[in-house]
Structure 1
């Protein structure tokens, strides 16, 4: 597997898992209940692309400034943290609902873009993208993380529309946390071996 393909696949999968049950996924469901699903997907895609390009730029700067062994170790610890964050859960509060509903800008696309961009800043998926971006080249991570995020939100929107209820949050949260813990443990192990070797 080429380095490009590895970065693309890993970032897509990791961000897809990180988005499951996340607050921004709930924001996507809320927006889809008010606006056309296609407009919501397009707005989410644009907002995600903007946030994740910023994330990979941050990762490139960190990658150039810090030694690889330390980056791997810190990224592994970050993944363990993301696992705990995922296990704890992330819910959309009434205040978040009100904010999403009150964002009445002239264009629905701009409304969705703005709401999702604000919700995504500093979110788990943004931080996950930064952590992965320190391990792989920026382009596959940017494409993969954006695709993984949009795929997770598209599934949530579709299932929410068909079933009229949320995804089984507990099972998804526990499964996603386990995957983060596994990836984090592997990365911590790799970083420790590089530091000791």
Structure 2
């Protein structure tokens, strides 16, 4: 189950992050500052903190609720995330330089705040509620964020107009819908 938690978490967040506001934020930061290394390290730090907190909440939910209640909440949560994945994200000019912070600090702060209440954070909560291995869930969701966001940083604005965000949103919605239906229909042990 440990490797399963890691792989499902990584896949769900990788696909869920494509076209997400935090990926758009990565593109914006890369285009603005043109310093990929501090942006990538900032994304990693912010994601580790954010997803660790989300994972702890998911773990608490798993221990606080009965298995039947948890199954319904998780199934419905995954279906809601699937619906949310169909809506294109937009980003405010949130990443404008603030004071004399470095690129790393700006990235950490803006990524952490942008990820609050985001579908990938909610997916992390749901995955941590489903799988008992918190470390594997957080490692998987963090890897998923990095798989999706590092290329966005490296490529900056060059590849973003040609990227099939709409198709990826549908694939992401499909993955979360399958997870939700599997949990609701009692096939959650297969995931």
Segments of 5+ residues of structure 2 without an aligned counterpart are none
Cα 1:106–1:157 shift into 2, 3 Å: closer
- For residue 163 of structure 1, what is the aligned residue in structure 2? 159
Q: Quote the Cα distance in structure 1 between the aligned partners of 2:162 and 2:107.
A: 20
Segments of 5+ residues of structure 1 without an aligned counterpart are 193-197
Give the alignment partner of residue 119 of structure 2, picking from 124, 145, 161: 124
SS at match of 1:5: helix
Q: Quote the Cα distance in structure 2 between the aligned partners of 1:161 and 1:72.
A: 41
Is the Cα–Cα contact under 8 Å of residues 15 and 149 in structure 1 kept in the other structure? yes
Q: Which runs of 4+ in 1 moved over 6 A?
A: none
- For residue 112 of structure 1, what is the aligned residue in structure 2? 107
- For residue 54 of structure 1, what is the aligned residue in structure 2? 53
Q: Please state how far the C-alpha of 1:50 moved relative to its aligned partner.
A: 0.2
Write out aligned runs for 1:1-197 (5 A): 3-35=1-33, 36-92=35-91, 96-97=92-93, 99-136=94-131, 137-163=133-159, 165=161, 167-190=163-186
Is the Cα–Cα contact under 8 Å of residues 69 and 191 in structure 1 kept in the other structure? no
TM-score, normalising length from structure 1?
0.88
CA deviations 1:118-138 (Å, max 9, x no partner) are: 111111111000000011111
Greater helix fraction, Structure 1 or Structure 2: 1
Q: Quote the Cα distance in structure 2 between the aligned partners of 1:180 and 1:30.
A: 27
Larger mean Cα displacement after TM superposition, 23-32 or 173-182: 173-182
TM-score, normalising length from structure 2?
0.90
Q: Quote the Cα distance in structure 2 between the aligned partners of 1:27 and 1:164.
A: 12
